[in-house]
Chains A and B, each alone.
Chain A
Amino acid sequence: MTLEAAGFWGLAPVLLASSLAVVLSKNLFHSVLYLALALVATAGVFLLLQAEFLAAVQVLLYAGGVITIVVFAIVVTERLVGERLAQTNRGVINGGLISLAVLIWIVVFIAGAQLPRTAPPPPGDLTQAIGRDLLTRFVLPFELLAVLFLAGLLGALFFARKEE
């Protein structure tokens, strides 16, 4: 067994268990912590696939940014509502069935796909390539994102401003 395979089999149970814990845990706050764990484990999988940039973004953006926002949301909502929020799972059977169907679909899809037997050669410095493409081929989407954020920022400012 290669080191890569060992890493994968070490990460996979953590990822699966923490993902399940996110949806099954009654305590909303615990769910968020499990979500953070799941996201970091996903970053680990990216690292194993030699996608360092993606792994870094995953940790920064999701484990860092998104989790922080969710924690804030829970804390603020609990204070506003005045009671502890609990996660209820009324649709657990239907949800499970749909998840199962998606799982079967993905397995069938992968089984039918013709995958190369050997791993493709490492593509060199991905971070550099992404940076170059972002400012050349994809400069328009990059700039548009800035305008999009401007609109979001204006909206947030408008709603956050005190009523006159």
Chain B
Amino acid sequence: MSAALVPLAPLLLVAATAGLLIVLDLLPPREGKGHLGVVALAGVVAALAGALTLWGREGRAFGGMLLLDNFAVFLDVVICYAAALVLLLSMDYLRRNGMESGEYYILVLLATLGMMLMAQAADLIVIFLALELMSLSLYVLAGLFRGRLTSAESSMKYFLLGAFATGFFVYGIALIYGATGTTALDRIAAASGGLQRDPLLLIGFGLLLVGFGFKISSVPFHMWVPDVYEGAPTSVTALIATGSKAAGFAALLRVLFSTFKVAQPDWALLLWVVAVLTMTLGNVIAIAQSNLKRMLAYSSIAHVGYMLVGVVAGGALGAGGVLFYLLMYTFTTVGAFGAILLLERGRQEAVELDDYAGLAARHPLLALTLALFLLSLVGMPPTAGFAGKFYVFGAAIRSGYIWLAVIAVLNSAVAAYYYLRVVVYMYMREAEGVPTRPAPSFAGRLALGVALWGVFQLGLMPAPVLDLAQAAVAPLLR
């Protein structure tokens, strides 16, 4: 392969697989599209392996618009894990719901491509286009179950609010271009040193943060989350909760730490407030939810709050902690949504709390798996959730944000209530009515197995991965 293409290898693999799928979709067999899922999975796994071999290499392409550094590689890996697990979960799930279609797999790949581009972009124009590629694909995927009103609502809400957020984002880019005369991240950094109090630049930066806030679903731009997560097909919900969040944080961290480094005291103060609001609101409202997908939606808002604690803390510890958290959150959340996706009651998905009563008695293994994912979300040792919270909150204390860490720990205690309630239902309640049954799906179980491996790998031996995460943020901090 030509040296210039090396930084692009993971991206090209995903894009080429998407192209291949478009052709394969037209060819027989016309019944069943499961084989497309296998091809898509192969492409993502190849991209994952490709990204891993690129660790330690640096490169730029397209006149500096795309770059490859350890930061990009780490996030490519997180995103590929999310996409691969979601693809594994999707195969039987789509068939069960009678919505198997070639477009699904193509759009998942295109969304993944957009996410990876966000991690590798070094120019605001590319970040914007990557963001749109990801979002547009996800808008369609959210509406996959065309016959269901909730799915249509989810897609429509996501699209309308997302398009609105995009407007803010583009306006921000335009103002930043007006102030600095460039859209390249490093040149904006160079130009903004002398323009610190330029209102044009500040407003542009603020609008950019609004756009990012929407994509990572931080308060006050979180309103879309519960309805979209609840209505979208569960496999798509898992992708929105993990991959799109990782991509949003990828671009946000790069912009904050390397481009707007001069303004760090200012944005740290702003994000301090946002972090507190985000985790508190997410946790408090999650308590009142009886629908598991909705509960996990609010819980995902709370987790964004915890990650923002790491962003506020800054430095290799804080930013590295956020990357570690993203990886652990990906495994845990895909696992939790995956367990929900496998369960059905009657002909319906089991999403209500009552559906989980007495599950442990009849399906002990699956109940245990779901319980472990929920414990990881709580942050119990020895799961990955504990290590993630420990690093992020520890970084906040190290940087002198004692109160922020205290609020975050108190929030985690509140959160334990609604996660453990599900465990209580599974283990201590009697089942009533039609029994909840897991669907027979080998691919789904494999996905849960991989996610569980991730949760314990990161929980029992977090140090090596944390070292990698800290090495990954080094290019941003120099």
Q: In the complex, how many angstroms separate the beta carbon of A154 from the nearest chain B beta carbon?
A: 5
Given the complex, which residues of A lie within 8 Å of B107, measured CB to CB? Answer: 151, 154-155
Per-position 1/0 for A134-161, Cβ under 8 A of B: 0001111100110110111011011100
Q: How far is the CA of A152 from the CA of B140 in the complex (A)?
A: 8
Check A159 against B129 for contact (C-beta < 8 Å). no
Check A144 against B137 for contact (C-beta < 8 Å). no
Check A159 against B146 for contact (C-beta < 8 Å). yes
Pick the contact of B103: A137, A138, A145, A157 (CB < 8 A).
Answer: A157
Given the complex, which residues of B lie within 8 Å of A83, measured CB to CB? Answer: none
Given the complex, which residues of A lie within 8 Å of B66, measured CB to CB? Answer: 140
B interface residues, tally (CB under 8 Å)? 27
Q: How far is the CA of A163 from the CA of B98 in the complex (A)?
A: 11
Q: In the complex, how many angstroms separate the beta carbon of B217 from the nearest chain A beta carbon?
A: 21
A144-B117 CB under 8 A given contacts A154-B103, A158-B140: yes
Check B139 against A155 for contact (C-beta < 8 Å). yes
The answer, yes or no, to whether B28 is at the interface (CB within 8 Å) is no
Q: List residues of B (100-123) whose CB comes within 8 Å of A's CBs.
A: 101, 103, 106-107, 110, 113, 117, 123
Pick the contact of A158: B61, B101, B113, B129 (CB < 8 A).
Answer: B101
Q: How far is the CA of A141 from the CA of B62 in the complex (A)?
A: 10
Pick the contact of A140: B65, B101, B146, B147 (CB < 8 A).
Answer: B65
Q: How far is the CA of A163 from the CA of B143 in the complex (A)?
A: 14
Per-position 1/0 for A26-51, Cβ under 8 A of B: 00000000000000000000000000
Pick the contact of A154: B62, B123, B132, B140 (CB < 8 A).
Answer: B140
Given the complex, which residues of B lie within 8 Å of A145, measured CB to CB? Answer: 129
Per-position 1/0 for B213-234, Cβ under 8 A of A: 0000000000000000000000
Check B15 against A147 for contact (C-beta < 8 Å). yes
Q: Is the interface of A mostly helix, strand, loop or mixed?
A: helix
A148-B103 CB under 8 A given contacts A139-B62, A141-B65, A159-B146: no
Check A138 against B101 for contact (C-beta < 8 Å). no
Q: How far is the CA of A46 from the CA of B32 in the complex (A)?
A: 53
Check A144 against B103 for contact (C-beta < 8 Å). no
Q: How far is the CA of A151 from the CA of B114 in the complex (A)?
A: 11
Check A151 against B126 for contact (C-beta < 8 Å). no
The answer, yes or no, to whether B189 is at the interface (CB within 8 Å) is no
Check A137 against B147 for contact (C-beta < 8 Å). no
Complex A-B, nearest 6 residue pairs according to Cβ-Cβ distance, in ascending order: A155-B140, A140-B62, A144-B129, A158-B103, A151-B110, A140-B65
Given the complex, which residues of A lie within 8 Å of B62, measured CB to CB? Answer: 139-140
Given the complex, which residues of B lie within 8 Å of A148, measured CB to CB? Answer: 129, 132-133, 136
Q: In the complex, how many angstroms separate the beta carbon of A53 from the nearest chain B beta carbon?
A: 18
Check A144 against B133 for contact (C-beta < 8 Å). yes
Given the complex, which residues of B lie within 8 Å of A141, measured CB to CB? Answer: 65, 123, 125-126, 129
Check B133 against A159 for contact (C-beta < 8 Å). no
The answer, yes or no, to whether B346 is at the interface (CB within 8 Å) is no
